[in-house]
Amino acid sequence: MRRGVMFLVLAALAPLALAQPSPVYQQCQGCHQANGAGIPGAFPPLAKHTPDILAAKGGRTYLIQVLLYGLQGEINVKGQKYNGMMPGWSQLSDAEIAAVLNHISTQWGDQFPAGQKPFTAAEVKAQRGTKLTPQQVYSNRQKLGLK
């Protein structure tokens, strides 16, 4: 296929990337559940929580870091405590991580805050070089001031 035609095909499919869940997300459902509700005490909900993270200054970067490096430490989400261990998924490609982040940002009635666009592979790549531990990602969460 010629490069110009391939570009047009990929451009036409780009909107579907937001509408279709990443097959990788099926791995996330074991902890966060298909409905995004999580598991009380262990794994926090993504539904109705992801927009709060995205709205916080630094939240977008933090979400990328969670996917790349994991998260370890007790967190509080809307008055509930969670203390499960989130593994890092740095073995996924930048595009796959962006697809998962776009999926969780637009499911269960959630949407990006006004002015924010979908995650890109370039954003993920920019964070890949930070090489954080799950505890450092936890520290970054504390700085977001989430309630």
Please check whether residue 41 lies inside any domain of the structure. yes
Return the SS3 of 75. strand
* 120-124 long-range contacts, CB within 8 A, separation 24+: 121/93, 121/94, 121/95, 121/97, 122/94, 123/60, 123/64, 123/98, 124/64, 124/67, 124/68, 124/94, 124/95, 124/97, 124/98
What residues make up the domain containing 101? 3-142
Q: Is residue 47 part of a domain?
A: yes
Task: Give the separation between CA 96 and CA 102, rounded to whole angstroms.
Answer: 10
Instruction: Give the CATH number for residue 29.
Output: 1.10.760.10
Tens digit of pLDDT for each residue in 39-77?
Answer: 999 999 999 999 999 999 999 999 999 999 999 999 999
Residue 147 in domain: no
Q: What is the pLDDT of residues 77-135, one digit of tens each?
A: 999 999 999 999 999 999 999 999 999 999 999 999 999 999 999 999 999 999 999 99
**Total count of domains within the chain:** 1
